Amino acid sequence: MLKRILFFALVLMIGIVPLFAQDMELAGPAECPEGDATISVAGGSVGGELAQLESAAAAFTANCPNVTIEILQMPDSATERLNIYLQTWEAQSADIDVFQVDVIWPAIIAPHVVDMNEYLSEEEIGMYFADMIAGQTVDGRLVAVPWFSDAPGLYVRTDLTEEYGVEIPTTWDELTVAAQTVQDAHRAATGNEDFWGYVWQGNDYEGLTCDAHEWLVAETGETFISAEGEVNVTDEAWIAALDRAAGWVGTISPEGVTTYQEEESRAVFQAGNAAFMRNWPYAYNLGNGEDSAVAGMFDWVPLPAGASRIGACLGGWQIAVSQYSDNVDAAVAVAKYFASFEQLKARALSENGNPPTMPSVYEDADIAASPLMSRLGPILGTAYARPSVATGERYGEASALFSAAVHSVLTGEASSEDAMADLEVALEDLLASME
């Protein structure tokens, strides 16, 4: 897995070579289904996602006026989105035809979605990174089509690190010191007590699972359940990393960070009120947008390392078609178009800058010239997957146990040792119940 991710990153860094030459004819206009149809799409609205989705829908319906697309705006939290999806699937509801689904959910969604192998040609499937297709294949069924990839990095106010003579941190310990130094110096220089050293995602949801997985993988080289199915939450260096993170709350990070998701962190950073931020690629173009106070003042680099490595959370979103849809053919046509070459490119160049899932898109001259894409390769190379393969359809429960336990430490409700000892038992019980 890691080797493949590194390969993917390398491909991004060197620019893609003819090895990946693809038939561009496939990137043509939308294929229209027969007859009138109304298709509901449950999509994200993090950053500029909604605008992007609406423009994709408008492009499709301009070409296929027999189709009406309704965009259903889902909560930003991946955890909340999954809960909504599970409720509609439980009811076998035809209300949502097309779902935007997280990279960690293939086993969870499998019973409720159509097999995209039946609707896409081999050539069409071959357009996507083979690894991503493999990751979305459950018992031979392609449960979702890769839509955009994701890996987080460290956003750095380079104007301030330069001004105050601080090196860009490459370890979590260095980050702790650098954030405090810039925060102290900048507060003293400006009197702005709302200026913070470091913002990240500390709310109790899937995003905290990602942030904490990063501290854990950095120290131990493994996530909270290893590929071999071993629970990994009591290592001493990890306990210390957890204490370090709890120590950030109220010192280099606002007290409220334990309620932050991605967008709350971005709001603080983009207003010019943070030296460093952990966030996904989508914050890059937005941070350089016209309404950003920090446009042109920051860089985006790989996350800090721990004793073992850099453990960036491998993220990404797919598009899936509901088995309960009343019009699967039209739903598939919409899904295919949304994940087409043309739309992947548009999305990557949009203010949301979502990384494409087709090698051929990276070959495109506009993409290769984009400042975001040139930073992406090294960051994707640091990515490490959450334990969604080892936990399968129980991933959501495992992740919820992990984030709740970490959250209790961040808010001071429990000591790191106690919280992790209890978590170890709970995760072992969960694994045992799967046998």
Rule CB under 6 A: which residues touch ligand GLC?
78, 102-103, 150, 206-207, 210, 262, 280, 315-317
Q: Which is nearer to ligand GLC, 151 or 332 (CB)?
A: 151
**CA-based nearest residue to 284, from 56, 43, 47:** 47
Taking the CB of residue 249, how many other CB atoms lie within 10 A of it? 18
Considering beta carbons, is residue 203 or 288 the nearer one to ligand GLC?
Answer: 203
The residue at minimum Cβ distance from ligand GLC is 315
Smallest distance from the beta carbon of 265 to ligand GLC, in angstroms?
Answer: 11
Both tokens of 286, joined, read 């937005």
Beta carbon of residue 284, minimum distance to ligand GLC (angstroms, whole number): 14
What's the closest the beta carbon of residue 386 comes to ligand GLC, in angstroms? 8
What minimum distance in Å lies between the beta carbon of 15 and ligand GLC?
24
DSSP-based three-state secondary structure for 299:
strand
Nearest distance from residue 273's CB to ligand GLC, in Å?
Answer: 21
Please name every residue paired with 145 in a beta bridge, in sequence order, or none if there are none.
319
Count helices and strands in the chain by DSSP H and E runs: 20, 13
Residue 17 to residues 8, 362, 369: CA-CA distances in angstroms? 12, 10, 15
Q: Toward ligand GLC, which CB reaches closer, 186 or 213?
A: 213
For 315-327, letters b (16+ CB in 10 Å) and e give bbbbbbbbebbeb
Residue listed under structure tokens 């004793």: 307
Q: Which is nearer to ligand GLC, 198 or 280 (CB)?
A: 280
Dist. CA 306–CA 220, nearest whole Å: 8
- Contact in structure between 196 and 253 (CB atoms under 8 Å): yes
Q: How far apart are the first and last CA of the chain?
A: 24
Closest CB to ligand GLC among residues 150, 222:
150
Kindly tell me which of 67 and 344 has the beta carbon lying closer to ligand GLC: 344
Q: Which two tokens stand for residue 277?
A: 């931020």
Query: Smallest distance, Å, CB 392 to ligand GLC?
Result: 16
At its nearest, how many Å lie between ligand GLC and the CB of residue 241? 19
Name which of 78 and 332 has its Cβ closer to ligand GLC.
78
The Cα–Cα gap between 54 and 67 comes to: 14
Nearer to ligand GLC, 213 or 345 (CB): 213
Least spacing, CB of residue 87 vs ligand GLC, in Å: 19
Q: Which of 100, 159, 98 is nearest to 315 (CA)?
A: 100
Distance CA 277, CA 156 (A): 7
Token duo for residue 309 = 């490595």
